[in-house]
Structure 1
Amino acid sequence: MELLNRNYTHAKKRPVKIVQFGEGNFLRAFVDYMVDIANEENMFDGSIAIVKPISYGKLDLFEKQECQYSVLLRGLVDKEEYIEKRMITSIDSIYDCTADYTSYLSLARIETVKYIVSNTTEAGIKCDENDKFEDKPAKSYPAKLTQFLYERAETFNYDYTKGLVMLPVELIDNNGDELKKCVYETIDKWNLKPEFKKWVKESCIFANTLVDRIVTGYPKNESEAIWQQEGVQDELMVAAEPFALWVIESDKPINEEFPLDKALENKKGMSVIFTDNHKPYKQRKVRILNGAHTSFSLASYLSGNDTVLDSMNDPIIFGFMNKTINEEIIPTLDLPREDLLDFANQVEGRFKNPFIRHELLSISLNSVSKWKARCYPSVKQYIEKNHEIPKRLSFSLAALICFYHGVRKETGYLVGIRNENEYKIQDDQDILDFFYENKDTESLELVKCFVNKTNLFNDVELKDESINQISKYVTDIKLKGITECIKEDKLHE
């Protein structure tokens, strides 16, 4: 069978406008997919040069397939099954900066380059004190980027029209600001020319971004069947959900030259938003999508479900989730209600995606910090607004406390029991130690100790009432089980 290549895709040669640090599944199913659509719509006319930023990994498949691959989108859109298979031709070339530093640096000298995209993991946007300007290349991503920008500034004699737009998609708060801070710190540490720092400050943009799309990667168990159906072998294929959101915060307008928002206008469930403040969108995602995940997943697991899809097919858990979102989370958010309801509907469709098996136990990892970051802000604002306790979010914390009840301590985890079967409880060691030491503590005292340990409810007017409500739920869950508690308190209707 023919291996996918440029002859097969009839890829058009376009000027390189984007240098992308990272060759992983997410960028290829997200950014490169969007650029491909913009090219097809005759709105961008640019290609991508990928840089493999670390020595680990090989580029053999990219070279064999001439950087051509397909994206397979599967899920629900407007409650109907959606499947899309798209050949991606937006990548022009790929470079290994650790094996061929000279070729990598030559990308900085391409006049048409305008954007830098990166996904170097959350740990990638950090300075390394051991980095040196003479390294080829430097170890950390910010230092590599500094070398790249320096080469560009020198090549074009500090022409302010040749500055670049940095679009990091690493999952950290204010990723653009953090990257800029690291670049400035590196410039100072290396004692580079003052005019270089001035050029970076005045001609370059470091955008804060928010990204959202579930990318499941290479569909290993289905690949042979898909190859047979398509008549071509694609070992770089990547599968993802249809939903996609990219929020880009920039202090200067960039959407005219980078019109991904317009290119995706007719793609249901996909959007790019250019804004001067990405925080309301981040809050929406964290509170509704992540908050919903965290608020129902442990209760759902204890009730007997194993996956998110199981939970959505369970009318009791599904009703609990919907009520939590619509009555206790959305009323605390600042964006227009219509926008929030639309996002909530999309979240429901994503949770019901039959092509993704999302294990509740994998979601349970580090649930204490997740609940504090994702659910507690809604609790706090709900109390401030209504002067009463949100029942479902309080119940979700009680379910968390019950989930963390370990009967045995192992290295790095506790062992819990569900329906006579063991499961792993994984979190920071001090959290595990706390729950094990308090496994026989009665409910009210346990909740009081937990609240004090985690500094929850110290900043709300109903701390005592909240503790009493949560401890009541803990007792009820132990006596009656999750499902009966939700039914009795009518938390699902």
Structure 2
Amino acid sequence: MSEPTLSRRNVPAAALIHRRVPEGTGIVHLGLGNFHRAHQAVYTALAMEREPGPWGILGVASRSSTVADAMNAQDLLYSVVEISPDGSRVSVPGSHTGTLVAEQDPESVVRAIADPATKIVTITVTEHGYTVSPETGSLDLDSDAVRRDLGEMRTPRTTIGQIARGLALRASTHAAPVTILSCDNLLSNGRQTEGLVREFVGTFAPPLRDDLLSWMNSSVTFPNSMVDRIVPSGSDRYNEAALAHLGVRDTIAVPAEPFTMWVMEERFAAGRPAWEHGGALFTDDVEPYELMKVRLLNGTHSLIAYLGALDGRATIPESVAQPFVEDAARRILCDEYLPTVTVPASVDTDDYIRQLFSRWSNTALGHRTSQVGSDGSVKLAQRIPIPALEHLGRGTVPQYLSLTVAAYLCCIAPPPGFDPGPHARSMTDPARPRLAGMADNAASTTEFVRSVFVDGGLFPSTLASHTDFVSRIADFVDIIVRHGPAVAAGEASDPVPDLGTITSLRSSATI
């Protein structure tokens, strides 16, 4: 006989975080993915366990109904499987009160945001979900999805459109205050989200535009936040781990590392759960934590993923176990990212770096290079330009930032005739078709790289004027194509490249 499916009737009491059904729905969460379920939902369950309140979460999936359907079949429960080399631990957060799928029912999403019971709207839709122009940092008005939402009042499909329409309905009905809390890897994510929403609202006709902007000034807050937890994609092995621990079947178990962190500004317009009971930190200035995470962790993580994938490595632990990848990771972290960051006084830098490499080496978790390397066109726009410009402004070409861009291009838009391997081919990226066309049409590597900076829509075009930076990226692309990522990483450790070798490589490696 098969095991029963997870439900509130059969979940082991010791595993369930917050045993009572939430008193009400106070949070609408946009982006019902693995990260939210292993992060904000856990903090919220821990908060309600200590201080009960109306902080249940309505989880909104963007497109797929898979997770929402499974949660509905399991009394809105699922398991979080914490994986470490020492073993696993399973918990079940009881924080959700319902689900929606935005693609199927966008009007209900707008109504949920406008509901007076909603006090907070949290967001994890990845950097790509904010429809930001990489060139301007503003709302991408050239996006088909944004243009559609600007013309359609009732059924917005983009995250920014849903928030703007929800706030408009809220302001016109009861005008209760609300907080919009981005939990994605955007620098100053609250400020950016507010700017994007205001841009969207700015397209409305008066008097709606002016009335709504005025109401937002007094009644809507957008705190900055920083989130951190490595959460890979789910798989059957995690479902099996949940079964072994709980004795019941869970078809949507979420894997996660034991480490978790959440830092945010204390700016909530209508109250909040007692997230500090889950370990959340509140501060007046999130930026140092943001920069530390986005650059030291995420930026280095990207380089590990691209070098590892090009070296045929399926996972981050396999990648960082290669001496050349570990050395490159330490060099970019310590020599190029760290000088651009002011580490918070409460953080021991050496201990933080040791902890990062320990997390990346968690072989039991097995974070895939293809997952970490996906959507690089959006992720790298947050991680590369400002540090690169800082180094270039000092007269130094950042070798490993250059290598990161080169390795990314080799994975996503490989030169004709070059096979980056199965893990690179498995990476998804909205810019892949555009960049691949540039690679196919360029007469040389340098022309290709320059076109990426001028016309690729990935990085600010100001970087294209730094010809030494563009040239160095082209050098690394050529070396990867001819000799592989290990040789390229070795060249990066030499700030004065062998010009004869590079010239020879360029002459024989055109695109």
TM-score with structure 2 length normalisation? 0.70
Q: 1:268 maps to what in 2?
A: none
Is the Cα–Cα contact under 8 Å of residues 178 and 270 in structure 2 kept in the other structure?
no
- Three-state SS of the structure 2 residue aligned to 1:86 is strand
Letter in 2 for 1:290: N
Amino acid across the alignment from 1:181 = R
Is the 2:25–2:58 Cα contact (8 Å) retained in structure 1? no
Matched, 1:431 2:435: yes
Query: Is 1:177 paired with 2:176?
Result: no
Quick one: distance in 2 between partners of 1:471 and 1:124? Answer: 30
Mark the CA change 1:418 to 1:213 in structure 2 (over 3 Å): closer, same or farther.
Answer: closer
Match of 1:31 in 2: 40
The answer to whether the 8 A contact 2:4-2:249 is kept is yes
User: Matched residues in 2 for 1:286 and 1:402: separation?
Assistant: 22
Is structure 2 residue 15 aligned with structure 1 residue 4? no
Q: Secondary structure at the match of 2:75?
A: coil
Which of 208, 213, 218 matches 2:229?
213
Structure 1 Cα separation of the partners of residues 461 and 169 of structure 2: 52
1:467–1:257 CA distance, 2 compared to 1 (3 A) = closer
Q: How many residues align?
A: 457
Question: Which residues of 2 match residues 39-438 of structure 1 at below 5 A?
Answer: 39-40=48-49, 42-43=50-51, 45-50=53-58, 52=60, 57=65, 59-75=68-84, 81=86, 83-94=88-99, 113-119=118-124, 122-123=128-129, 128-132=149-153, 135=154, 145=163, 162-169=176-183, 174-178=191-195, 180-181=197-198, 184-185=201-202, 188-189=204-205, 198-224=214-240, 226-249=242-265, 252=267, 257-260=272-275, 262-265=276-279, 271-276=280-285, 278-336=286-344, 338=347, 340-361=349-370, 363=372, 374-385=383-394, 387-396=395-404, 406-408=415-417, 415-416=418-419, 427-438=431-442
Corresponding residue SS for 1:216:
coil
Deviations 1:1-54 (A, max 9, x none): 3333233456224432523244443322221111111223x2463431415477
Q: Report deviation, 1:489.
A: 7.5
**2:134 corresponds to:** none
Deviates more, 1:28-37 or 1:356-365: 356-365
Contact conserved, 1:308 with 1:357, CA < 8 A, in 2? yes
Q: Structure 1 pair 171/104, CA: closer, same or farther in 2 (3 Å)? A: same
Percent identity between the aligned chains?
19
SS of the residue 1:389 aligns to: coil
- Match for 1:67: what amino acid? L
Q: Which runs of 5+ in 2 are unaligned?
A: 14-18, 132-145, 496-511
Counterpart residue number, 1:411: none
Give, in angstroms, the shift of residue 325 of structure 1: 1.0
TM-aligned CA distance change 1:459 to 1:339, over 3 Å = farther
CA distance in structure 2 between the partners assigned to 1:26 and 1:351 by the alignment: 17
Change (3 A) 1:226 1:358: closer
Moved more, 446-455 or 14-23: 446-455
Are the equivalent residues in 1 in contact too, given 2:82–2:88 (CA < 8 A)? yes
5+ unaligned residues in a row in structure 1: which ranges?
A: 266-270, 409-414
Q: Offset at 1:471?
A: 6.3
- Please say if residues 35 and 44 of structure 1, whose CA atoms lie closer than 8 Å, have aligned partners that are also in contact: no
Give the 3 Å change call, closer, same or farther, for CA 52–358 of structure 1 in structure 2.
closer
Query: How far does residue 482 in structure 1 lie from its aligned partner after superposition?
Result: 4.1
For the residues of structure 1 that align with 2:77 and 2:158, how far apart are their CA atoms?
Answer: 28
User: Can you list the C-alpha shifts for 1:390-434, whole angstroms capped at 9, x where unaligned?
Assistant: 4444455555676665344xxxxxx52669x99689754453244
**Structure 2 counterpart of 1:324, one-letter code:** I
SS at match of 1:12: coil
Deviations 1:93-150 (CA, angstroms, capped at 9, x unpaired): 4467877979995896665x42222445644775713434xx5x66665565566556
C-alpha distance in 1, partners of 2:376/2:116?
46
Q: 1:294 deviation in Å?
A: 3.3
CA 1:152–1:482: 2 relative to 1, 3 Å: closer
Relative to the length of structure 1, the TM-score reads 0.72
Shift of 1:218: 4.0
Give, in angstroms, the shift of residue 330 of structure 1: 0.6
Q: Any idea what SS the aligned residue of 1:377 has? A: helix
Cα deviation for residue 178 of structure 1 reads: 4.0
Would the aligned equivalents of 1:295 and 1:371 in 2 still touch at CA under 8 Å?
no
Task: Verify the 8 A CA contact 1:131 1:138 in the aligned structure 2.
Answer: yes
Asked if structure 2 preserves the Cα contact closer than 8 Å seen for 1:108 and 1:149, the reply is yes
Other structure's SS at 2:6 match:
coil
Cα deviation digits, residues 239-263 of structure 1 (max 9, x gap): 223333434346x467985442x32
Which one-letter code corresponds to 2:177 in the other structure?
G
Q: Name the SS for the 1:310 alignment partner.
A: helix
Q: Indicate the residue corresponding to 2:453 in structure 1.
A: 454
Once residues 415 and 161 of structure 2 are traced to their aligned partners in structure 1, the CA distance between those partners, rounded to angstroms, is 45
Please list the CA deviations of residues 211-257 of structure 1 after superposition, one character each: whole Å capped at 9, or x if unmatched.
3433335432342453244222333432223333434346x467985
Larger radius of gyration: 1
Amino acid at match of 1:177: E
Please say if residues 16 and 92 of structure 1, whose CA atoms lie closer than 8 Å, have aligned partners that are also in contact: yes
Report the CA distance shift for 1:115/1:390 in structure 2 as closer, same or farther (over 3 A). closer
